[in-house]
């Protein structure tokens, strides 16, 4: 049940970041499905990838601390966005300006910068949400 909660939480993180990065990321998805279903499927796939982060750390016999989880989640999310862009052809990444806070605009020059920034941004939110939900 906890793994399912982590997948759903990361899916919501993916939706949140996808709306912030709206001019630069678009879900293409699987032909024959609607845009909403494709977004849900890609979000669930992202959540599944991020659910594997603690297991990957345990496999390499690394400690499961917040810093290790963050670094591994940056790597896993980079692999996810790279694979979904170039191998699976599920998302479309581009360049553009992103306004996170009014008055603060970030310019992403190309697809590589977009993937790196997207990986860092989603990892920060994902690890933060998981740590906040597990703290008592």
Domains of the chain, residue spans: 2-134
Structure confidence by residue, pLDDT tens digits, 88-128: 888 988 888 887 778 888 888 888 889 999 999 999 999 99
pLDDT digits (tens, 9 = 90+) for 17-53: 888 888 788 888 788 888 888 888 999 999 999 999 9
Q: Which of 50, 91, 39, 98 is nearest to 74 (CA)?
A: 50
47-88: pLDDT as tens digits: 999 999 999 999 998 888 888 999 999 999 999 999 999 998
Write out the two tokens for 72: 């591994």
- Whether 135 contacts 126, CB under 8 Å: no
Task: Write down the pLDDT at residue 38.
Answer: 87
């Amino acid at each position: 049940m906890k793994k399912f909660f982590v997948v759903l939480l990361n899916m919501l993180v993916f939706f949140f970041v996808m709306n912030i990065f709206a001019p630069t990321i678009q879900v293409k998805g699987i032909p024959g499905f609607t845009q909403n279903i494709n977004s849900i499927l890609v979000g669930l796939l992202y959540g599944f990838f991020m659910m594997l982060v603690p297991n990957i750390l345990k496999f390499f016999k690394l400690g499961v601390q917040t810093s290790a989880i963050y670094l591994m989640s940056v790597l896993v999310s980079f692999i996810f966005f790279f694979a979904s862009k170039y191998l699976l052809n599920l998302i479309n990444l581009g360049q553009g300006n992103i306004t996170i806070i009014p008055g603060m605009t970030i310019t992403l020059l190309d697809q590589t910068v977009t993937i790196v920034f997207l990986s860092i941004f989603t990892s920060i939110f994902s690890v933060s949400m998981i740590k906040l939900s597990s703290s008592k």
